[in-house]
Structure 1
Amino acid sequence: MPLMNQEPSQPNGTLLNIGDSEVYTTILGRIKRGEVGADERIVDSRLATEFNLSRMPVRQALLRLVHEGYLAGTTRGFILPKLTHDDIEEIFEVRMMLEPRAAASVCRVLGSEDIEALRAALTEARHAVAEVRLGDMMVANDRFRQIWLDAVPNRRLAAAISRFVDHVQIVRKATIIDAGTQHVVLELLARMLEGFERCDALMVQDTTLQFVVRARESFVAASTNAETLQGRAKSA
């Protein structure tokens, strides 16, 4: 598993060239920001035109994303993987085991600049919710998580957590679009920040667990609703 901030590599371990890396980073960013729809097809020829590259480096970057679980290959292009209920349960089970202890381990290494960055991210999230800017709220929430993840001493642990968080982006907008959920997120972010400020590892660990549990509940509910709507559409 590649470390965070390391140059992306292909499944065989060789480094991607500059063109491959640009495509890889751009598409991964779009997936993380929820900009790729659940049924959207990513076609290598279109990306080759967008990046002014041949299809070979584009395809290598897309295959890397398949290898890491971010995309699934089809005969007509690449799509986000379809997560089953079992997939969702397994991902959140791993997150509940890893994230609380990882966040708690950060308390002893966070500096004043990190705390200020966390405060700024929380402030932006609050403003985004108040002004009904869903995309900006998602970005601020991600920034808050990334700040403390970047401080986790065990870099392999941080990379694993980041990977599993990324894998539940498929219906992410559906989970956070609810106003009630947004306010719960803000409340939990504020409690995490308080724990970091007080260097209270137990408080941070408990709040992080609550955060993941709530995310799981929202994700499962959104996924179930989506399946129900699809079933009704097919039977109509």
Structure 2
Amino acid sequence: MSAAAPDLQRAPSLAEQIYQRLRFQARAGAFEPGERLVESNLATQLAVSRSPVREALSRLTADGLLEMRSGGFYVAMPTPRDMAEIFEMRRLLEPTAARQVAREKSAELVVELTAAFDRTRAANEGGDFATFTDANYSFRALWVARVANRRLRETILRFDDQAGFVRRTTLIRADARIEVIALLQDFITAFKTGDEDIATKATNAFIDGAERHYRDVAHSFS
């Protein structure tokens, strides 16, 4: 019997790379709700042709991150009901995920999270909001990537797609940023010591804070 042929490995296409970059930026809150993403501008910024940019934007539209209006691509904005359901699902999913990660006590993860935390804190102290939102989401992406249950991990990330604009509109508040920084420290402690209870409390506090700040500014979305 002949040996099984190895799986083919292909490098990500240019359109895939652009898609992943824009998706990360959207999750991090890099775009304004309702903002138009112009193909030609993105192509110039990325030094690529418009074709892979258009393909990436079309995929993001299929994901629900963007919507087509008047022949253009615009950042979609979830309704208040959408957000209430997302917060409910986060409460069901994320504490379990954080407990799984804490159980691993990964020293490598702690090093990566500490670097992301330092970047987040420095950005806040320097008044660099764009870097703050990027570093804050990088912190989250690092620990979520360590969730052992693949389906749980992918489900959490799917809800991230609709929550990017909430990060952008709530983290502009100084009190929200200070609260986030304190909770990031709690996450690091939980993952370093393997304390699942601290991981659970930090996760619930993070979600509660996000929803509270969202409600405080929700009137500006209407």
* Band the TM-score falls in, shorter-chain normalisation: 0.7 to 0.9
Task: State the AA in 2 paired with 1:124.
Answer: R
Alignment partner of 1:163 is 2:166: no
Supply the distance in 1 between the matched residues of 2:19 and 2:177 (Cα, whole angstroms).
30
Structure 1 unaligned regions, length at least 5: 1-14, 228-236
Alignment partner of 1:205 is 2:200: yes
Q: Given that residues 34 and 76 in structure 2 are in contact (C-alpha distance below 8 angstroms), is that contact kept between their aligned partners in structure 1?
A: no
Q: 1:85-136, CA deviations, whole angstroms, 9 ceiling, x for partnerless residues?
A: 1011011111111111101111122421111222222222222222222222
Q: Given that residues 125 and 136 in structure 1 are in contact (C-alpha distance below 8 angstroms), is that contact kept between their aligned partners in structure 2?
A: yes
Displacement of 1:76 after TM fit? 2.4
Displacement of 1:165 after TM fit? 2.0
Distance 1:53 1:121, change over 3 A: closer
**Which residue of the partner structure matches residue 4 of structure 2?**
none
RMSD: 2.4
Match of residue 49, structure 2, among 44, 47, 53: 53
Q: Given that residues 95 and 161 in structure 1 are in contact (C-alpha distance below 8 angstroms), is that contact kept between their aligned partners in structure 2?
A: yes
Supply the distance in 1 between the matched residues of 2:123 and 2:130 (Cα, whole angstroms).
8
**Which residue of the partner structure matches residue 113 of structure 1?**
108
Q: What is the DSSP-based 3-state SS (H/G/I as helix, E as strand, rest coil) of the residue aligned with 1:211?
A: helix
Supply the distance in 2 between the matched residues of 1:217 and 1:128 (Cα, whole angstroms).
23
Supply the distance in 2 between the matched residues of 1:170 and 1:223 (Cα, whole angstroms).
11
Distance 1:29 1:174, change over 3 A: same
Alignment partner of 1:128 is 2:107: no
Alignment partner of 1:36 is 2:35: no
Question: What TM-score results when the alignment is normalised by the length of structure 1?
Answer: 0.79
Q: What is the DSSP-based 3-state SS (H/G/I as helix, E as strand, rest coil) of the residue aligned with 2:37?
A: coil
Q: Given that residues 195 and 201 in structure 1 are in contact (C-alpha distance below 8 angstroms), is that contact kept between their aligned partners in structure 2?
A: yes
Match of residue 175, structure 1, among 170, 173, 176: 170
Alignment partner of 1:78 is 2:67: no
Distance 1:49 1:126, change over 3 A: closer
Supply the distance in 1 between the matched residues of 2:50 and 2:114 (Cα, whole angstroms).
44
**Which residue of the partner structure matches residue 12 of structure 1?**
none
Displacement of 1:48 after TM fit? 5.5
Displacement of 1:36 after TM fit? 2.3
The number of residue pairs the alignment matches comes to: 212
Alignment partner of 1:152 is 2:147: yes
Supply the distance in 2 between the matched residues of 1:46 and 1:190 (Cα, whole angstroms).
38
Displacement of 1:206 after TM fit? 1.8
Displacement of 1:46 after TM fit? 5.1
**Which residue of the partner structure matches residue 5 of structure 2?**
none
Q: Could you tell which deviates more after superposition, 185-194 or 37-46?
A: 37-46
Within 5 Å, give how 1:6-45 maps onto structure 2: 18-44=13-39
Q: Which runs of 4+ in 1 moved over 6 A?
A: none
Q: Given that residues 23 and 161 in structure 2 are in contact (C-alpha distance below 8 angstroms), is that contact kept between their aligned partners in structure 1?
A: no
Distance 1:198 1:19, change over 3 A: closer
Supply the distance in 2 between the matched residues of 1:187 and 1:33 (Cα, whole angstroms).
19
